[in-house]
Amino acid sequence: MQTKTVGWILCLLLSIALLLSPGLVLAFDVRLGTGPPGSFSYFSGRVFCRLINHQLTDINCQQVAATEDHDAYNLTNLQGGSLDMILVDSHPLFAAVNKTGMFAYLDIDYNNLRGITSLYETPVVMVVRNDAGIRSLADLQGKRINGGTPGTVQYREMKRILTAKGWSREDFSLVGDLSRSQSNSDTKAFCYGTMQAMLYVDIHPDFSLRRLLKSCNGTLLNMDDDDIASLINADPALWKVEIPAGIYSTQPQKVTTFGSRAMLVASENLDQETVYGIMDVLDKNSAYLQSAHQALRPFIPEPGQMDENGLQLHSGAAQYIAEH
C-alpha cells in the first residue's frame, strides 16, 4: 500500500514538473470554418492551417468544413463563438455586418466580427467568342448573351454589369437564362455559337475555362471601363482584379475585371497576440501559399481600410500593419 502511494506521488510530481518545464509549449485550438470538401475555400483552409501549425507552435489550427450555404452558416457560428476564424466571401460578409440582403431581417448582430486579411480573389470574367466582333463592353449591345439562371452568381453579376452600364435585356438580340449547373448548358450554347458572350465566376487558373477558351474559340473581355470602376468604388465587397497575361495560352494580354475576395475573419475574442502571429506568418510566406495555388496570396489591408466598409480590423491585425 505504501509503495503504491509513493508511486502515485512520484507520478504527480513528474506531471507537475513537465507542465512547469520552460521547454514545454501547450498549443491551444483555433477553429477555422471553411466551405465544404471540394471547394476552393476548403482547399485554402487546409493549406492555411498546415502553414500555421508548422510556423506557430503554440497554436493548433483545426479546419471545420461546413455544408451548403456555408458563408451564412460560418458567419453565424463565428458570431456565436463556436468558431474562432472563418474564410468567407466578401459579399455575404459585408451584407452581414451592414444587415443588408439576406441578413436584413435576421435577429442576429454581427458586430463582434473583425477582419484579418484576405487570401484569394474570385474574379468575374466575361468570355466572348472571337468571331462575335466584341472588343469592349460597349460591343456587347445587340449580341446574344447568357444572363444566367435567376439565383445564381452568374445572374447576379450579369445584372450588376447591366445596371452599371444602364442597359436592359432589350439592348441585346437574345438574353439566355442558362446555368452552369445544368449539364454545363451555358458552355455548350457558347461553343455552338448560340451565345456569343457569357460570364464565368471562379478561381484562376481554371482548367474548365482553359478548355473552353481553347476548344470553343473564346477569349476574355477586358472590362477596364469607367462604369465598372464606378461600380467597384460604390461597393465595399468588390475589388478591381487583374488576370495575369499568359495564365491561359490563348490569352497573351492581362485582363482587367472585378470580383470579390475570400476574407479571413476572426471573432473579436480571439486574442491580439495570436492574430498578430497569424498575420506575420501569412505576410512572410506568400511564396509558399502561391506554390500551393497561384490564386493564394494575402492582401494585407491598409490601416483603417476595413473600417470604411463596416468591418473593423482585428486589433492584432491593426498592430501588425502599423508596425510593418
- pTM, two decimals, is 0.86
Q: Write out the E strands in 44-172.
A: 59-65, 85-89, 113-129, 144-146
Provide block-wise average pLDDT over 10 residues at a time, the chain (324 residues). 53 51 63 95 96 93 87 93 95 92 87 93 96 96 94 93 96 91 80 95 93 93 95 93 91 93 95 95 93 90 66 92 90
Q: How far apart are CA 318 and CA 304, in angstroms?
A: 8
Bridge partners (DSSP) listed for residue 258: 124, 240
Let me know: does 287 contact 58? Beta carbons within 8 Å: no
Helix (H, G, I), strand (E, B), or coil: what is residue 322? helix
Q: What is residue 165's three-state secondary structure?
A: helix
Cα distances (angstroms) measured from residue 306 to each of 158, 295, 311: 26, 22, 5
**Residue 314 region by backbone torsions, left for phi larger than 0, else alpha for psi between -120 and 50, else beta:** beta
CA distance 88 to 74: 8
Domains along the chain with CATH numbers: 26-121+262-323 (3.40.190.10), 122-260 (3.40.190.10)
Q: Helix, strand, or coil here: 120?
A: strand
Continuous H helices in the chain: 2-20, 40-55, 70-80, 90-98, 153-165, 185-192, 207-215, 226-234, 272-284, 286-292, 315-323
pLDDT of residue 18: 47
User: What sign does the CA torsion over 245, 176, 229, 96 have?
Assistant: negative
One-letter amino acid at 117 equals T
Spell out where 10-152 has E strands: 28-34, 59-65, 85-89, 113-129, 144-146
Residue 167 has which C-alpha cell? 442597359
In this structure, are residues 60 and 28 in contact, taking their beta carbons and an 8 Å threshold? yes
Count of all residues that appear for the chain in the document: 324
Q: What is the DSSP code (8-state) at residue 35?
A: -
Report residue 46 as a C-alpha cell. Answer: 487546409
- Residue (of 117, 111, 119, 118) closest to 310 by Cα position: 111
